[in-house]
């Protein structure tokens, strides 16, 4: 007997991105499905095989990356990282309310010991919508991600990914990408916050 878990459960997600101005006005700038990538299966395989961390907290989606080099070509299940993620705590911004952390990353089921930077999703921003659906709310406030430059130029955001924390129980957390989405360029400024509402149906 062969059962495919991710396909059979039809795990899928939906992402809404809004600009929220200081006046309180909210403008939805993106509303579409996302891509569940192969890392989701890798994470669940470690969980159900009892072959990874012995704490389920390490299998939770608790962090994200935003990036500036996204493309539709990355919207395939084999994608395992962002093309151009924010590459320092400074790029997420010191004075913002976004909690950041550094760590390694799991690529092709192996830990790559190169420091990478992640934004953290606080517990209160993880909401059970119904029995099978979880919504992750990510807020890049007005001070966040306003100065991500490449080649001397300030770059707009255009990709985001969700990560599971540390399936291999590495001493330095090695997250794995489980969901990805490219979106049209958003030049982040201090005039607005960006709110990502990302629902995953398991």
Partner 1 sequence: MFVDKAGELIADVMTMNRSLATIPSASAILDTSNYTFQAISYGKDAEGFNYHAHIPLGSFSANTIKVISYGPNSFSGYQSSATASALQFQYSLMPQSPTPMDTRLESKSTNPAYSLAVDMGQYINTAMHPVFSGVYPIAGAFPPPSGVYFQIFNQANSLIYSGSLQSVYNFYNMMDHLGFLKFYQAPLSGVFGHKNIVDTFINPYVAANTSVLFALSGGVFRTTGSNFPNDVDLIWLLTAGDAGMLNLFGGIYHIGLWCFDIKEMLKQGYYPPYSFNTLNTTRKYRLFAKKTFNKDLLYYSSNSAFKSMFVDNQFSNANGIVFTWKIRFN
Binding stretches for partner 1 (CB under 8 A) = 1-9, 11, 38, 41-42, 44-57, 59-62, 77, 109, 123, 126-128, 131-134, 200-202
CB of 195 to partner 1, least distance (A): 20
Using the minimum distance from each CB to partner 1, give the nearer residue, 23 or 123. Answer: 123
Using the minimum distance from each CB to partner 1, give the nearer residue, 132 or 189. Answer: 132
CB of 55 to partner 1, least distance (A): 5
Burial class (CB in 10 A: 0-12, 13-18, 19+), 170: middle
Q: How far apart are CA 33 and CA 30, in angstroms?
A: 10
Using the minimum distance from each CB to partner 1, give the nearer residue, 72 or 123. Answer: 123
Record the tokens describing residue 22, joined without a space. Answer: 């200081």
CB of 8 to partner 1, least distance (A): 5
18 - beta bridge partners?
Answer: 28, 195
Using the minimum distance from each CB to partner 1, give the nearer residue, 54 or 151. Answer: 54
Q: How far apart are CA 135 and CA 2, in angstroms?
A: 30
Residue 192's contacts (CB-CB under 8 Å, 6 or more residues apart) are 19, 20, 21, 22, 142
CB of 176 to partner 1, least distance (A): 10
């Amino acid at each position: 007997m062969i059962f495919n878990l991710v396909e059979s459960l039809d795990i899928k997600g939906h992402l809404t991105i809004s600009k929220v101005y200081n006046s309180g006005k909210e403008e939805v700038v993106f509303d579409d499905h996302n891509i569940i990538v192969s890392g989701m299966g890798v994470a669940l395989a470690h969980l159900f095989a009892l072959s990874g961390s012995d704490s389920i907290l390490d299998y939770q989606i608790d962090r994200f990356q935003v990036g500036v080099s996204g493309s539709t070509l990355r919207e395939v299940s084999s994608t395992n990282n962002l093309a151009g993620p924010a590459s320092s705590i400074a790029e997420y911004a010191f004075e913002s309310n976004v909690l950041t952390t550094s760590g390694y990353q799991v690529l092709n089921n192996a830990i790559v010991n190169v420091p990478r930077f992640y934004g953290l999703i606080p517990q209160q921003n993880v909401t059970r919508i119904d029995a099978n659906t979880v919504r992750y709310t990510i807020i890049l406030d007005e001070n966040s991600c306003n100065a991500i430059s490449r080649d001397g130029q300030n770059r707009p955001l255009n990709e985001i990914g969700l990560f599971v924390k540390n399936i291999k129980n590495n001493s330095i957390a090695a997250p794995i990408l489980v969901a990805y989405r490219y979106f049209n360029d958003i030049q982040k400024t201090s005039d607005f916050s960006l709110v990502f509402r990302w629902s995953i149906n398991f």
